[in-house]
Amino acid sequence: MLLNFKRNSYKALFRAQHGKLSRAQRGISFIFMFFFIANITFAQTDPLTKKVTSLVAHKEPIESVLSSITKQTNVRFSYNSQLIDPKIMVSVNAQNNTVREILTIILPPYISYKKIGEHIVFVAEEQKIRKTEYRDLNGDTYTVRNDEEKSSSNNGNLPDSCLESVNLTKNDEMKTLMTELLIAAAMVTTPVLADGTLQATSYALQGKENLITPAEEGNLQISNFITSIEEKDSILVDDISAPLVVKPIQLTFFYPLGTGWVKSDCNNYYVSLNILGGVTGATMALDLGGLFNINTSGAKGVQFAGLFNSTGSQCSDIQSKNVQFAGLFNFTKKGKSAQFGGVFNIGDMVWVQASGLNNIAKSAWMQFSGLFNIGKTAYLQAGGTFNIAQKAGVQFSGIFNIANDKSGAQFAGISNIGCNSPFQAAGIANVACNTAFQTAGIVNIAEKSACQIAGILNITKKGKFQMGMINVRDTADGISLGLINIVKKGGVLEAGIEAGEFVHTALTFRSGVQRLYSIISAGYNFTEKFWSVGSGLGSSFKLAENLSLNLELTHAQLYANSLKSSQWKSLTQFIPVLNYRFAKHFKIYAGPSLNLLIQDYGSDDYRVKAPYSIYHKEYSTSHLGNRNTIDLWIGVVGGIKF
């Protein structure tokens, strides 16, 4: 209607720079505005533009939601129950939204509608304009969108082969319509500037989606725009078919040579029998293929194939629920499955996966493979080389296990890595953020730990118990048992020199925490000419500011200078000593010692003499022909620590 006035009417209306308008021109402008306002008023009676004040529904039947809309707007709906299931569950939260906006949310993507008075009739959607773009001579680009368009009505249920696309060239009628929309919107919402231009930010029709969106802000000369609008792209119209068609059975030699021909991937079969290989949209009971089975959307039931089974695709949202057997591999994009493949399996939510090489799943109950398993969530993983999961229940592998977030228990031939792993056992190393128990042949590393046992090294920031050759921790709130125990805060780390009546001079090293520390010692007897090498444990009790009592138990082996002695000689000592700190890092100590010397020697072997004995006993082991002695005495020990 607006275009009947042609360009002269528009120029007359906005020609402010050429003087006042004539009486005829003012009359034409008045008539123009009258009809335009009448059109706007008429459009407001459109049932689709009526607003729903408040509508909140969470997983309620669509018929109930439509009934609520009718009560608030008096708009009535008609539809075939075979086209739309009245019991289909929908959710919506609308506050002062139009009927059109709510329908866009709750209707299935393959459903459209027609207006008949105050009635809206639902029909199967046939075509949809996706996008149209225009630009003016100044290079500004304008995008036109179908206001009723949502995501593709195919919704992943159909492959591209089930769609028929056609390109329609935009003609003068479309160009004319766009010009009319722009000018109409500008006349209502934007005042004319002194130079006869309109602000580009104002001439878009307002709604849920703007029909026209300027590419950039700026002023637009209307007279130029009318004559310079150009076409940029064509309109793409899709002929959207109905959802998958259910059929009882198909027989295929090799796709597409079968009963379904090229359209078999648009059908849902109860049984699909493929002599070599077949393609279907979906199957509901049995899929049997000599070489392969391919379901483009999904599958339920059982699949057997000589080479592979493939269910679902990147554009499919159907949830599968199937069991797959294949000589090579199995693939399921979405849904629950059990997969048994000769080489590998790839699944979404998997009950069980078993393969010769590897398994990959988003979520899996059990994974068994000869090489490796990968799962975002896995309750049981058993792999010949390694397992990787974000969350894992139990992991077994020949080489290593990795659980990025949580794991219940990890067992590996070489190493385990887990963020929160209650139990880790590895031949070489374990690494964890938080752990209850770690045992490894070489090293354990954890941020927080309850118990660490390693052949060589344990490292933790905060832990309860450590046992290994070397233990390292940040805090002194636990216990470490080892030859060297390093505690960064509040621990014991002391070297010393001491002397006694039996071991004349010895070097000592104490490390750990006050309540329990380790002792390493090496000494020499200048009279009997033997070495002593030993270790022990001690505990310290604070008596005063610079005074403490230490209770120590040590055990040392004695070796003659010649190192020819093959017999066993040992010295065990219990030493209670007083320590006095006379400088920040220096202590002197002294105290008595209770000494027990046990020797096993032959007739020609070297024998160590005790300083004296308060208890002495000799006996022989007849079956070995050796003699043994036991000597007990009280001595004294003193020294300096630093």
CATH of the domain at 576: 2.40.160
| Domain presence at residue 85 | yes
Question: Are the CB atoms for 615 and 632 separated by under 8 Å?
Answer: yes
Do 324 and 454 reside in the same domain of the chain? yes
The low-confidence residues of the chain, meaning pLDDT below 50, are: 1-21, 28, 30-32, 34-44, 127-242
Cα–chain center distance at 359: 18
Q: Which domain holds residue 190?
A: 131-239
Do 372 and 406 reside in the same domain of the chain? yes
Of the candidates 440, 460, 487, which is a domain's last residue?
487
d(CA 438, CA 416): 10
Give the global pTM.
0.59
Do 325 and 472 reside in the same domain of the chain? yes
Do 166 and 283 reside in the same domain of the chain? no
Do 412 and 464 reside in the same domain of the chain? yes
Do 354 and 477 reside in the same domain of the chain? yes
Number of domains observed in the structure of the chain: 4
d(CA 469, CA 463): 16
> Any residues with CB less than 8 A from the CB of 216 and at least 6 apart, and which?
140, 200
d(CA 28, CA 39): 17
| Domain presence at residue 41 | no
Do 603 and 476 reside in the same domain of the chain? no
The pLDDT assigned to 425 comes to 96
d(CA 420, CA 412): 16
The pLDDT assigned to 140 comes to 43
The pLDDT assigned to 624 comes to 56
| Domain presence at residue 10 | no
| Domain presence at residue 29 | no
Do 432 and 516 reside in the same domain of the chain? no
The pLDDT assigned to 600 comes to 79
Do 458 and 410 reside in the same domain of the chain? yes
Do 306 and 349 reside in the same domain of the chain? yes
d(CA 293, CA 41): 59
| Domain presence at residue 34 | no
The pLDDT assigned to 36 comes to 44
The pLDDT assigned to 265 comes to 86
Three-class SS of residue 623?
coil
Query: Residue length, the chain?
Result: 642
The pLDDT assigned to 20 comes to 47
d(CA 432, CA 160): 48
The pLDDT assigned to 94 comes to 87
